[in-house]
Structure 1
Amino acid sequence: MLDAHVEFRALESILKKFGVKHGDVLYVASDITMLMYKVRNTYNIESIEEYDEYLNALVDKLQEIIGNDGTLLFPVFTWGFCRGEGFSIKESACEVGALNNWILKNRRDFQRTQHPMYSFMVWGKDARLLAGMQNIDGWGDDSPFAYLRENNATTLTFDILLGKCFTFKHYVERCLKVPWRYTKEFAGNYTDADGHTTEKIYSMYVRDLDIVFDPVSDIKEFAGKDIFKHAKWFDIDLWFMNCSEAFSVYIDDIKNNDARGCYKFKNYHPDWTSGQTHPDVKISI
């Protein structure tokens, strides 16, 4: 049995310092490459079973911190549905992180939400609510992203800078109906949790590919806004952010700062008067 109790107590202390408590909604995104390297060297791990033991203990600790009255979410985004590969709620692999994929395959206490591109593994008080959402639009007002805003969720990232990998900002763009994105519908085979396959249509607020930009990876534009908080754990960077607070900050940046905190546009300047730069793409089946 791996003895990581001291390490996990330190993690618990950090989360409590940044306000995470029983009953909270916690959204976790991660790159665990460096973490697993450190775990292997610290505990002399040699087997898959030992890695599984450690990851189980990590997820258990996060559950313990927020308690049964809290809700825990991990992203298991996948875009095979967009590529015409169909989607299976039980089988389609996550494309955004090894820990998330591990939870999908190994943790039966989690449920998967239903959108074929932007789904989450969820546990806790609101797991059934989230897993029952029927949102067609990945970032719509009835989506888990809206739930994160409405429930003051804390975003926690392991070894990922929030400014670089923050899908929540696309929900903000959707709320504002920014002109450089448009609604695109996708049709494909959808296999539900009972194994029934039907053809369905889902949508995503995609970016206009004719507009060239780089995502902003630093957080300088948000200096003084105090929405990004940082800590070190096990020599791993942790970043914290409240989704409700971030929503207002991103609204202000996009509307009043030409989205400089989000993007570096190369061949376009945000133009709200001319409307969206690409028409919506609707399909029927």
Structure 2
Amino acid sequence: MRELINAFEIKKGDFILIAADFRKFLRHKIRQNFDIKTIQNDIILALKNAVGTNGTLAFQTFNWDFCKGTIFDIKNTPSMTGSVGNLALKMSEFIRTKHPIYSFCVYGKFKDDLKKLNNTDAFGDDSPFAFFHQKNAKMIVLDLELNHSFTFVHYAEQRNGVSYRFIKNFTAPYTDENGVSKIKTYSMFVRKESVLTELAPLEAIFINKNAMKINKFYESEAKIINLSRAYEIIADDIKHNKARNLHKWGGVARVYNAPYERVA
């Protein structure tokens, strides 16, 4: 796994958020006669060892079924954003944050701080996204476009008051870590109809302003993003460029009429 850690440029004590499609990397290892489950376990172990006990490792473990009224069980509802995150959810040294739509599976120094968060607003100032911003976390995006991975942008959009999104409430059954089920309401900052997230222009801007670098290895591409710098760039685009590098109008609304974002 050394090649993966080198490409991610992880150091001891780092605070890392992972959004990854590991399929290309898995295929490379499978060609070397490795077993998939073994590779996935080794990925998690390598990342844990890389950040160390004074670092923090977080996987996106999002699930949008709560938006449809489906029960969210913090212990049993799977992530829709990757098999490696789902494997981490089963490990005792990881915790899961509480929001039923945008949750994170976390190991390391800040896991107890993140576990204590009880945000009902997905992107509010008491959310994990705000915590990542405040603690200057580094996000690693593997083999995904920003459109399908960089959910942090919606925290910046909400904090800076964009007009093409609005806060929407969703209510459904929620089962907590003690097995207690209640009807609960949580919110998120959703797109207006016919508005599409369009983050492709951000990539060159992030690179030019030293908020992101790209490392290539094997068939894969790792984007390494400094979230604090990225936030400043996004906020500036909202304030001085009408967020033109973040969205576009006139697209065809998705089947679910844009109540939530599907990211991988």
> TM-score scaled by structure 2?
0.89
> Alpha-carbon deviation of 1:163?
5.2
2:143 alignment counterpart: 159
After TM superposition, the structure 1 = structure 2 runs for residues 92-107 of structure 1, keeping only pairs within 5 Å, are 92-104=77-89, 106-107=90-91
> Alpha-carbon deviation of 1:61?
1.1
> Alpha-carbon deviation of 1:165?
2.4
> Alpha-carbon deviation of 1:24?
1.6
> Alpha-carbon deviation of 1:187?
1.4
The worse-fitting range, judged by mean Cα deviation, of 252-261 and 217-226 is 217-226
Query: Paired residue for 1:120, among 97, 100, 104?
Result: 104
Conservation of the 8 A alpha-carbon contact between 2:165 and 2:190: yes
1:227 alignment counterpart: 211
Q: Deviations over 1:183-225 (max 9, x none)?
A: 111111110111110111111111111x433523352454622
Rg larger in structure: 1
Matched residue of 2:139: which SS?
strand
> Alpha-carbon deviation of 1:136?
0.7
Give the gaps of 5 or more residues in structure 2: 252-264
Of all paired residues, the percent bearing the same amino acid is 35
1:207 alignment counterpart: 191
Query: Paired residue for 1:72, among 36, 57, 60?
Result: 57
Give the gaps of 5 or more residues in structure 1: 1-7, 268-285
2:71 alignment counterpart: 86
2:181 alignment counterpart: 197
Aligned counterparts of 1:129 and 1:195: Cα–Cα separation in 2 = 22
Matched residue of 1:27: which SS?
strand
Aligned residue-pair number: 250
Are residues 146 and 214 of structure 1, via their aligned partners in 2, closer, same or farther at CA, if it must alter by over 3 Å?
closer
1:5 alignment counterpart: none
Conservation of the 8 A alpha-carbon contact between 1:214 and 1:265: no
Whether 1:35 aligns to 2:19 is no
> Alpha-carbon deviation of 1:235?
2.8
2:39 alignment counterpart: 54
Whether 1:10 aligns to 2:3 is yes
Q: Deviations over 1:35-83 (max 9, x none)?
A: 22222112x24xxxx3222111111111111110111100111111110
* Counterpart amino acid of residue 39 in structure 2: Y
Q: CA RMSD in A?
A: 1.7
Conservation of the 8 A alpha-carbon contact between 2:237 and 2:243: yes
> Alpha-carbon deviation of 1:103?
2.1
Conservation of the 8 A alpha-carbon contact between 1:23 and 1:68: yes
Q: Deviations over 1:235-268 (max 9, x none)?
A: 311110011110000101122122222123238x
Query: Paired residue for 2:240, among 228, 243, 256?
Result: 256
Query: Paired residue for 2:231, among 244, 247, 255?
Result: 247
Aligned counterparts of 2:4 and 2:216: Cα–Cα separation in 1 = 9
Conservation of the 8 A alpha-carbon contact between 2:26 and 2:39: no
* Counterpart amino acid of residue 29 in structure 2: V
* Counterpart amino acid of residue 28 in structure 2: K
Conservation of the 8 A alpha-carbon contact between 1:220 and 1:261: no
